[in-house]
Each structure stands twice: as structure tokens, then as C-alpha cells.
Amino acid sequence: MREVRVRFAPSPTGALHIGGVRTALYNFLLARKYNGKMILRIEDTDQTRYVPGAEEYIQEALKWVGIQIDEGLGVGGPHAPYRQSERKPIYMQCALRLIADGNAYYAFDTEQDLEAMRERLKTAGVASPQYNSITRTQMRNSLTLPEDEVKALLKDGVPYVVRLKVPRKEEVRLNDLIRGWVMVHSSQIDDKVLMKSDGMPTYHLANVVDDYLMKISHVIRGEEWLPSAPLHVLLYKYLGWEADMPQFAHLPLLLKPTGDGKLSKRDADQMGFPIFPLDWLDPNTKEKASGFREAGYLPAALINFLAFLGWNPGTTQEIFSMDELIQAFTIERIGKAGTKFDIHKAQWFNQQYLRAESNELLAKYLLASLAGEGIQCSQEKALKIVSVMKERAVFPKDFWEQGKFLFVAPISFDDSLVSKRWNDDAVKVLTAYQDAVQKLDTFDAVQAKNTLENVTRELGIGTGKILAALRLSITGVGAGPDLMMIMEIIGKEEVSKRIGYALSALKVKVA
RNA sequence: GGUCCCAUCGUCUAGGGGUUAGGACACCAGAUUUUCAUUCUGGUAACACGGGUUCGAUUCCCGUUGGGACUACCA
């Protein structure tokens, strides 16, 4: 079997879309599964869209999620350079060959010429005007112009593009690994520009040339490329590379969570979830985009989530490490239908992965948050906190955000809870409890509980009735980990102080 | 509009000519936790429609509808 060589070939036009990360992942999984090579190539043939920092962003993002590059940008390799802008002469050579063989031609039409042509065709009733086997006979190109005029134009440096001479009647077929046979009639394909007037190739040419030169075995890319895939097949044929043509696999697209359409940055902004792997600040527009990393997603969880967007192992196993994914992955099990992006599932995966981590590691997350707040905390205490909060955390930052009251006494109290649960009985119990707690020599969760039970028994009030009020006085809110553990963690003095504060602050409410 | 792709619970999906159409997320309910959460148990919920083919179609074929992509000297 042919050596598996796959490539991820993004354009450095901004932050890497999460769909791009999934594409990279599938490529990577295939490469690893068959001991092949994963190549990173930068498709920067559009100078006008180049965004500084995008290349670094792509590399950092891939590194963060654990997709290692074997060859290409930042790594080097036998087919360097891996930046298309640095491979310019290669493409021109190929274009020239196509022209010499009669499969491509020079076109000198200006933008106005093209616009006029489209207008003309539209008024004549043509639905989608194209530069093709019919219309090219009426345009200014090396097919219609006399040879010396073409030579003169070229010599004078008149701007031109190179277009592919698509045959008039030919069935173009390709066997997509995901979709099966796809057939398109050549009359539906237009004479695509191969070389732009600035001397740069377009995607189509550069892509085919580089994939061939870099000995790519499988082209795994988004479905948006499916309509132009037949064109690429034609290119392989005319370049004489048909035998080495890679296999194609066009991935289903990532769709909006609700409604219709492709997942876009706007969705992320509106629904409040990230759509990029890392935070990104566009240097030109100053626009900010938030990333999964900064939102608190663990790379392994993101990978697991992404892998299941359009692929499944056919078993009921859902949690997969990267190695397990590599083992289980096959192109055959990739689905065909577009996939709606559901952030809930991503959160669920994150929670699973977070819980599976050691308390030592989780304590580090908490300690990091605390350091940012300028709060001191012992390792021992952090471990204790993390172990009681573990079951409820989805993100590393939750330990701090949902456990603030472990470090800072509440100054205000949840109003609805106050009106529901703060009553005379509660005040009686809390007053007595505060007293009892202060008399204790040592204080832990068990003693906290026993003492509370003693107090309620003496007063003849059900513990359940006032527990919410006690929690309120200690934390200010109605939700959190086991209350007795909370009290143990903050200690006897603090418990007494907080009950005292609540008692005085909430006095008015009862009266 | 044209070309191409797609279609199983709200979402991700398994399945496949005869199944109680399975799982996961989400949601709801009950149990446990003297609270919330966790955990456990249970529940609501799907083969888009119409024709064929067939003894029998959700499954195969065709059409309709719906959705998506592409339709640039962008990738």
C-alpha cells in the first residue's frame, strides 16, 4: 500500500476555525494510524488576505490540541518550502506546461471586460454567466488573438491570467472516500483562473501541484471543496499525474447549533461559546474572538468532542484518548450529513475529562486562580476544596468561581432564598448554633454536623428546615458542595463570624 | 437561478428488507443526599413526504420537499 501522507493546508487569514481543527484532526488520525506523515502547508497565495500572526496562531493551536506535525511549516522536510508564496516559480512552470500542451491559455481580459461579458449574457437570459468553452471565443485570450499579438502583449507586460481550457463535453468522475462516485459534466465547470495577474497561483493550481510534489496520498478536506474537486481531477489529468492522484475525502460541514447555515463567528458571539481553539485578536480589525483554551476546555476533551462531530466508532464507547482515536479511526465511519455544533456536548466531555484528573492537578488550577486574585492558600486546603467540588466542576476555573465563598465571606445574600428560607426558626437555631460552635475545642465536618443536630433537637426544630438558612449565612447562595465540609474548610472562627453577620444583616427581613 | 452534496429522537448518532428502531447529550420525573449539585432509576422523543420494487420497506430505486455547499484574478 502507498505510504500515507496527508496534509493540513490552512490559509493564514485569521484565527483557525474550529472546523479546521477537526479537519486537521482527521488528517492526523489517519496519518498516525498508518504510520504515515502529517504535513502542514500554508496556502498564502492571496496576499491581500494575509494576516500577520495567523501562522503562529495555527501552529500554537495545533500544538495545544496535540496534533503533531511531521513535516512542513516550523518543522521543515524534504519538500520545503511549505509556504506556497515561496514556491511561486514552481506553479508558473506547471502553468506554462499546461499552455504548451494546449490545456490552458493566457487571458488578457480586464475586470471591465469580464463584467461586460456577464452583463451581456445575463440580458441574453443566461442564468449563470461563465468564462467557458463557449464564451472564451468572444474574449481577449491566446485562443482568439493572433499569435504575434499575444506575444506582443506578453512582451509589453500587459497583465494576464492563465485559465484552464476545460473541455466542452466530458464526464469528470471522482471516487470520494466518503461520498462514493461523484460525476460532473465538464460543461458545468468554467475556465478557472490558474495563475492570477500578480503572478500567484490560485488555490486550485497550487493545491494540485503541491499535493503531487509532496506525494500526498489522501486529501481530507471540507465539503466546500467538493464542487471544485472535478476541476482538480482534470488538472491531475492534464499535468500527467493521474496515476499519483491522491484519494479524496470530503468532510461534512459544521453547522449552526440552531437554524440554518454554516457555523460562523457570529454564532459564537451570539450564543456565548467559543468557535476558535485559542483567543485571537485580529491585528487589522482589532476584533476579538474567544478560544476554547481560554474558556477552560481541556485539549483532550476538545479533541474527543471534535472527533465525534461527524465520526463515530460504531460502539457505545464515547470517551477516547488520542491514542484510542488513532486506533479506532477509519474514513469509512465518517458520516455524510452536516453536523450541528452543540456546545452542551463539548461541556459534557470537558466535565468527564476534568473529573478524571488527579486532585493534585485540579488543585493547581485552583491555586492558579487564587494567585490571580492575590489570595493565599495552602496545598493541603486546595486539595480538600478540589475534592469536595470536583463533582460539580465543568471547567478548571469553576473551583474558584463556584467556591469563592470558601475564601471570601458573603456580603450580600440571595434575595429569593432569604424570603423563602430565612425565618424565626432559622434565627433561633443559628443563634444557638453560633454559640455552640464557639464553645467547641476542635471543629470539623462531623462535629459541625453533630453540634447542629444537638441544637435543633433541643429547640425541637427540624434540621432540614433551617439547613438552607445556614448555608445562606455561610455562603450567601443556595448551591454549593456539602455544607459541613464548607464549614470545616473555612474553620470555626469564620463560621461564627459569618453567622453573626448574617444574623445582624438579615434581622430586618424577619421583623 | 444553475451544479453538486445530504436527510433516523431537539442535538450527535447506531442500525438495517421482517427490530419493542439502540446509545449519548439535553430535557422531565422519582430515589439517594436532612439543601443545590453529584450518583442511581425511570420517562418524553425519530426513520421528512409521495410513488415504485417486494410477501414485507425506515432500510433498495425514482420523484417531491427540506437543508447545505459552490457559483471570484478567496481559500
Q: Are A283 and A51 in contact (CB under 8 A)?
A: yes
Cβ of A83 < 7 Å from strand B?
no
In the structure, how far is the CA atom of residue A314 from the C1' atom of nucleotide B15, in angstroms?
A: 10
* A279 and A291 Cβ atoms separated by less than 8 Å: yes
H and E: helices and strands count for chain A = 22, 14
Residues 189-218 of A, Cβ under 7 A from nucleic strand B: 190, 193, 196-198, 200, 202-203
Q: Which of residues 473-502 of A touch strand B (CB under 7 A)?
A: 478-483
Q: Which residues of A have a catalytic role annotated?
A: 265
Separation of alpha carbons A336 and A250, rounded Å:
9
In the predicted model, what is the mean pLDDT of residues A451-477? Answer: 88
Q: Is the CB of A467 under 7 A from strand B?
A: yes
Asked if residue A316 keeps its beta carbon closer than 7 A to nucleic acid strand B, the reply is: yes
The grid coordinates of residue A357 equal 484528573
Decide: A128 and A118 in contact? Cβ < 8 Å. no
Residue A331 CA to B57 C1' — how many Å?
Answer: 29
Closest CA to the C1' of B25: that residue is A345
Mean pLDDT for chain A overall: 93
A345 Cβ contacts chain B strand, under 7 Å: yes
Rounded Cα distance between A141 and A136, Å, is 8
Neighbours of A435 (CB within 10 A): 12
CA distances from A44 to A90, A207, A480 (A): 15, 11, 51
Amino acid at A192: K
Give per-residue pLDDT as tens, A123-169.
888 878 899 999 999 999 999 999 999 999 999 999 999 999 999 98
Quickly tell me which residue has 486562580 as its cell: A369
pLDDT attached to residue A257: 80
A174: helix, strand or coil: strand
Task: Determine the pLDDT at residue A508.
Answer: 57
What is the pLDDT at residue A460?
A: 85
The nucleotides of chain B lying under 7 Å from a protein CB are 1-8, 10-15, 23-26, 33-39, 67-75
- Return phi, psi of residue A262, to 5°: -75, 145
pLDDT value for A268: 76
Amino acid identity of residue A457, one-letter, is R
The answer to whether strand B lies under 7 Å from the CB of residue A54 is: no
Is the Cβ atom of A255 within 7 Å of strand B at any atom? yes
Give the N- to C-terminal CA distance of chain A in Å, as an integer: 84
pLDDT of residue A153: 97
Q: Nine-digit cell at A293?
A: 483554551
Residue–nucleotide distance: A59 CA to B3 C1' (Å): 36
Taking every pair of C-alpha atoms in chain A, what is the biggest distance, in angstroms? 111
**A483 vs A474: CA distance, rounded Å:** 9
Does residue A439 lie within 7 Å of nucleic acid chain B, judged by its CB? no
d(Cα A118, Cα A127) in Å, to the nearest integer? Answer: 10
Of all nucleotides, the one whose C1′ comes closest to residue A176's CA is B5
User: Is the torsion defined by CA of A221, A224, A229, A235 positive or negative?
Assistant: negative
pLDDT at position A422, please? Answer: 85
Q: What does the pLDDT look like over A213-263, one tens digit per residue? A: 999 999 999 999 999 999 999 999 999 999 999 999 999 999 888 766 778
> Which long-range contacts (C-beta less than 8 Å, at least 24 apart) are formed by A66-69?
A66/A299, A66/A300, A66/A303, A66/A322, A67/A8, A67/A21, A67/A24, A67/A25, A67/A28, A67/A38, A68/A28, A68/A38, A69/A38, A69/A39, A69/A40
What ipTM was predicted for this assembly? 0.95
